[in-house]
Amino acid sequence: MNDVEIIAIRGNDAEIRVGDRTHIVPFIVQGSIVSFAFDGEIYSVDTAGAGGPARARHRDHALDAPMPGVVLKILVEVGSVVAKGTPLVILEAMKMEHTITAPRDGKIAAINCREGEMVQPGADLVTME
pLDDT tens digits for range 23-79? 888 877 777 777 777 776 777 777 666 555 556 554 444 578 878 889 999 999 999
The residue-averaged pLDDT of 91-113 equals 87
Look at 91 and 51; give whichever has higher pLDDT: 91
> How confident is the model at residue 52, as a pLDDT?
54
In a domain, 123, yes or no: yes
Residues of the chain above pLDDT 90, percent: 22
The whole domain housing 74 covers 69-128
Strand 41-46 with 87-93, pairing: unpaired
Our count of domains for the chain comes to 2
Question: Would 64 be classed as within a structural domain?
Answer: no
Residue 29 domain-assigned (yes or no): yes
Q: Is residue 87 part of a domain?
A: yes
